Amino acid sequence: MIWNEEMECISRDDLKELQLKRLQETIKRVYENVPYYKKKLEENNIYPEDIESLEDIKRLPYTTKEDLRRVYPFGMFAVPKKEIIEVHTSSGTTGKPVVSSYTKEDIEIWGEVMARGLTMMGVTEDDIIQNTHGYGLFTGGFGVHYGAQRIGATVIPISTGQTRRQIEIMKDFGTTVMIFTPSYGLYLSEVAEEEGYNPREFQLKAIGFGAEMWTEEMRRELEKRFNAPAFNIYGLTEIIGPGVAMECPEKDGLHIFEDHFYPEIINSKGEPLPPGKRGELVITTLTRVGMPIIRFRTKDITSINYTECGCGRTLARISRITGRADDMLKVRGVSVFPSQIEKALLKIDGLQPHYQIIVTRPHLMDEMEVKVETSAEVFSDDIGEMMKLQKKIEEYIQDEIGLRVKVTLVEPKTLPRSEGKAVRVIDKRKF
């Protein structure tokens, strides 16, 4: 099934013509309405009339998370605030979060691209979709919600957690499509078995997953446990949220919706790479009204394939994301930066500025341990005081990143030192 055959099967020549028209409109819009972009373009001696071909996009400056934070909260808006009907944010790392704003037209675009992706999964108006992605300021739950409503499917907006309740709802409501992170899906299946259910008998027809790193082995295990095909969903808050790219039944990469998002792949020096070469994904929004973004450096490592897919769609495909070009970690679907951990630790007296983050996946769920050096005065035989401090650190970190982690206090000078850049993170997960 194809939701929008006109756009999803468009010829490459017609697509390029459409992309150029929309790119020119976008550059004109940001130049006239976003002072930050006007300044950056003029600093690079670029003006809207200079964009004569798609190749000219390489002349445009990149946008980074730091750029978006500099203009927090509303400095990237390209329309008056009264036209913004919804706002989301990323988690704040070294201070301010990234704000993402939506006009009515933007919400319609979000629903459109997610409807395309859900249709790739086989979703129709007859389905019941149980959406365990988070609602709130995060974009996670909303993209799926809007796409499902666009199709006419029934949405159960249960959000995250409540694992036993999730299982009860799946059984009682006759859920046909589940949306979850891979690790949470595996955990759900375990709890279901503990409750006396066989997950293979839940009658699921499809699974949509995303928001964290995964392996093909994990996908196969999910499909085996729930007896349903599992499809990858990709997106990011800065661009629109989930729905930037999604898998079709061929599972040979994720179709990126190029009529709305223009992709590039670059190396660490910011130089363009050819199709098939792995590098950092860069995305320019082509239709976003409230907050257009030019050449956003996603930090996600992937490659791009422009050959026609076996499903009949002509839109390019990006390969599975296998890493990051920065130090961000995805833990249980949540973006975590070492700087957030450091920020929490610096609020507490008696700690040394030495710590180490260890991420593992011992069974199904990601686990994060933070080893923290204490001062000689604090590290003592008073077990009660040590436990109080440990609990306090755990609470501070949870307040900062939204996840409960294990904290281990260690003696002074026991964590490894480095003459160069300190090794703060040890990620033992295998992707």
List, for residues 183-241, the tens digit of each pLDDT value: 788 889 989 999 999 999 999 999 999 887 777 877 888 999 999 999 999 999 999 99
Q: Give the residue, 364 or 30, on which the prediction is more confident.
A: 30
What CATH number belongs to 329-427? 3.30.300.30
**Inter-residue long-range contacts of 332-336, CB under 8 Å, 24+ positions, other chains counted:** 332/181, 332/183, 332/184, 332/212, 332/365, 332/366, 332/403, 333/133, 333/134, 333/140, 333/181, 333/183, 333/184, 333/211, 333/212, 334/91, 334/401, 334/402, 334/403, 335/90, 335/91, 336/368, 336/401, 336/403
> Looking at the chain, which residues constitute the CATH 3.30.300.30 domain(s)?
329-427
User: d(Cα 71, Cα 61) in Å, to the nearest integer?
Assistant: 16
User: pTM for this structure?
Assistant: 0.81
Q: Please answer whether residues 431 and 330 qualify as being in contact, where contact means their C-beta atoms are separated by less than 8 angstroms.
A: no
Quick one: CA dihedral 346, 350, 354, 360, positive or negative?
Answer: negative
What pLDDT sits at residue 248? Answer: 98
Task: Pinpoint the residues of the chain covered by CATH 3.40.50.12780.
Answer: 1-324
What mean pLDDT do residues 303-319 have? 97
pLDDT of residue 380: 67
CA angle 187, 192, 193 (to 5 degrees): 100
Q: Are strands 241-247 and 230-236 parallel, antiparallel or unpaired?
A: antiparallel
Separation between Cα atoms, residue 424 and residue 356, nearest integer Å: 5
Say if residue 199 is preceded by a cis peptide, omega within 30 of 0: no
Q: Exposed/middle/buried for 114, CB within 10 Å: 0-12, 13-18, 19+? A: buried
Compute the average pLDDT of residues 301-323.
Answer: 94
Average pLDDT over residues 73-83: 97
Residue 427 is encoded by which pair of tokens?
Answer: 């990620």
Bigger pLDDT: 313 or 337? 313
The per-residue pLDDT for range 319-366, each reduced to its tens digit, is 998 777 777 788 888 878 777 887 788 788 877 667 899 999 888 789
Q: Are 306 and 12 in contact (CB under 8 A)?
A: yes
Over 70: is that where the pLDDT of 91 sits?
no
Q: What is the pLDDT of residue 93?
A: 44
CATH top class, domain 1-324 = alpha beta
pLDDT tens by residue, 378-396:
776 678 888 899 999 999 9
pLDDT at res. 170: 97
Does residue 365 or residue 152 have the better pLDDT? 152
pLDDT at 95: 58
Predicted confidence at residue 94, as pLDDT, reads 46
CB 85 within 8 A of CB 118: no
Tell me what pLDDT residue 343 has: 78
Q: Which contiguous run of DSSP H or E holds residue 111?
A: helix 104-120
pLDDT level of residue 182 (50, 70, 90 thresholds): confident
How far is the CA of 84 from the CAs of 141, 280, 367, in angstroms?
19, 30, 38
Mean pLDDT of the chain: 92
Residue scoring higher pLDDT (377 or 411)? 411
